Amino acid sequence: MARRAVRKPVGFAILGAGTAADYHRQAVAANSDVGARLAAVGHHDPHRFGEIGSRFGVPCRSYEAILADPAVDVVCVCTPSGQHADQAVAAAQAGKHVLVEKPMALRLDEADRVIAACDDAGVRLGVMLQRRAEPQFQRIRQAIQAGDLGRLTLGGVTMAYHRPQAYYDQAGWRGTWALDGGGVLMNQGIHLVDLLLWYMGDPVETRAQAGTLARNMEVEDTLTATLRFASGALGTITATTTAAPGFPHRVEIYGTEGGIQLEGERVRRWSLSNRDPAEVYGLHADTDPNIGPGSDPKGIAPTGHIAILRDYVLALHTGHELCVDGAEGRRSLACVLDIYRAAGLGR
């Protein structure tokens, strides 16, 4: 079915009122110049409508009322992860475009159902894997595709995060298979898994170990995995939420002609064997080990959300391909689930 055109301005509604929803609120406000506007926020508890509406500056309504509102063009799904698939499908069937937080679903069949529902309804499906829209990460991909690093041989992700027990206790869905879908890898690590796949390609072989070593919850708080990519390159993923006080994550990509090392959201080293060093964004040292989301879920800047939402609005206006569509969002989910299977985890 042909995708319907969206008039200006583009009315957004956010389902959910937590941390992710606040990032989406900021992103909508920052893109008013291209027509984005926040029309409503949805929540399951009518007793909180007044408080949430005041906080977001728009009416708070039931999910059903949101889907029936003709002023809503796009639904941002920012609820617990286990609700993403059903709510995204319902939004598509109501004729709304869908921008869903990571992970887009908890199983591949659910992700496929979301993709099919959006295709059938002729609406756009975007997934909030926001680092792909940041200039420094895009420049790395361009360099890799241009062959600047030669043949890729090794990629790695290291996440030494800290989330105390109180973080999991504050909401009943956190740390559960049914609604969180996993622990450190599904909740926190999927963003970096997505970057690794974007740079290295999809893995063809996966081995992993995982455990719940320090937190009282169903899912893993510590995990290690090794990957083999179709190119023959190898990869490693190590992740935990037990490393007090929390440290910046690292992403490293190496090839036969050079390597790139990132810490947090910044490039630390970009070295090539036979040419001048590349010009990179944000190349300076930080001294605070707690910077970023390593110690605080709200420690990430809103710039990535703003960029993804801008790309989304412009795609509605022009029809260009989305930075992260449903098929791309599915890739990181598939990798996480493969790692869980290799580690003997899952529902």
Query: Which tens digits make up the pLDDT trace of 12-31?
Result: 999 999 999 999 999 999 99
Give the residue-averaged pLDDT of 158-165.
97
CATH number of the domain bearing residue 113: 3.40.50.720
79 & 140 share domain: no
C-alpha span between 319 and 312 (Å, rounded): 10
Give the residue-averaged pLDDT of 317-323.
94
Give the residue-averaged pLDDT of 28-54.
97
92 & 119 share domain: yes
Host H or E run for residue 67: helix 63-68
| 346 DSSP assignment | -
93 & 217 share domain: no
252 & 176 share domain: yes
70 & 147 share domain: no
CATH number of the domain bearing residue 254: 3.30.360.10
Dihedral sign from CA coordinates of 296, 168, 103, 183: positive
276 & 148 share domain: yes
325 pLDDT exceeds 80? yes
C-alpha span between 48 and 89 (Å, rounded): 25
C-alpha span between 270 and 272 (Å, rounded): 7
Q: Who wins on pLDDT, 301 or 65?
A: 65
88 & 185 share domain: no
C-alpha span between 243 and 260 (Å, rounded): 24
Range of the domain at 144: 135-264+266-299
C-alpha span between 8 and 15 (Å, rounded): 21
Domain count, the chain: 2
Query: Which tens digits make up the pLDDT trace of 228-245?
Result: 999 999 999 999 999 999
Q: Who wins on pLDDT, 171 or 11?
A: 11
Query: Which tens digits make up the pLDDT trace of 98-145?
Result: 999 999 999 999 999 999 999 999 999 999 999 999 999 999 999 999
Q: Which two tokens stand for residue 240?
A: 């935990």
290 pLDDT exceeds 90? no
274 pLDDT exceeds 60? yes
Question: pTM of this prediction?
Answer: 0.92
Residue 51, CA atoms < 13 Å, CB-side half-sphere: 8
**Residue 293 within a domain:** yes
- Split at pLDDT 50, 70, 90, the class of 277 is low
Query: Which tens digits make up the pLDDT trace of 176-229?
Result: 999 999 999 999 999 999 999 999 999 999 999 999 999 999 999 999 999 999
